[in-house]
Amino acid sequence: MPRITPFLWFDDQAEEAATFYTALFPSSKILKVVRRGDGSALTVDFELGGQKFVGLNGGPAHSFTEAVSFVVNCETQEEVDRYWEQLSAGGKEQPCGWLKDRYGLSWQVVPTVLVELLNDSDPEKSQRVMSALMQMSKIEIEPLRGAYEGKEAA
């Protein structure tokens, strides 16, 4: 089966971005840098947690939009906090766990418990969770659990 590799178009920061991302995510590394005659990077092959990516320094003709984003599934609030802080630094926080990093790439930093709470068979519980989520930028697990249990936010 062919492997699908996300190909990311940067203006001129592909190597910088790959270095940033590989330092942030465990089991990540830069695999290869193809350089132009002037020594600047043309493409950067890198791996994040076993998933291969290619970054291209293609110039300013194209930029990232929210139409494509990467989800970081987090088991704990500490993971959510860490990834949120590092990915949003120099970027822009957005609603419901979304952010744009300093390169304009969209990410969703999501605790895995969110899906469990939203998928509850009781529509009132899942609606309360959704209402609480809609009030957040960075997702906070305890207020979501409180909404699920019908407790009012303090």
Q: Which of 60, 83, 102 is the last residue of a domain?
A: 60
Looking at residue 36, what is its pLDDT?
98
Which residues, including other chains, have CB under 8 Å from residue 77's CB and lie 6 or more apart?
111, 140, 141, 142
Average pLDDT, the chain: 96
Task: Provide mean pLDDT across the span 116-144.
Answer: 96
Looking at residue 152, what is its pLDDT?
66
* Residue in 101, 97, 104, 102 with CA at minimum distance from that of residue 135: 97
Overall pTM > 0.85: yes
Which residue in this structure is represented by tokens 């207020």?
A: 143
Residue 33 banded pLDDT, cuts 50, 70, 90: very high
Question: Which parts of the chain are beta strand (E)?
Answer: 7-10, 29-35, 41-48, 51-57, 69-74, 92-93, 98-100, 106-111
Q: Is residue 33 part of a domain?
A: yes
Looking at residue 153, what is its pLDDT?
59
Residues 84 and 140 in one domain: yes
Calculate what percentage of the chain has a pLDDT beyond 90. 95
Residue 2 banded pLDDT, cuts 50, 70, 90: confident
Q: Is residue 50 part of a domain?
A: yes
Q: Which domain holds residue 47?
A: 1-60
Task: Provide mean pLDDT across the span 54-72.
Answer: 97
What token pair was written down for 67?
A: 């139409």
pLDDT digits (tens, 9 = 90+) for 5-24: 999 999 999 999 999 999 99
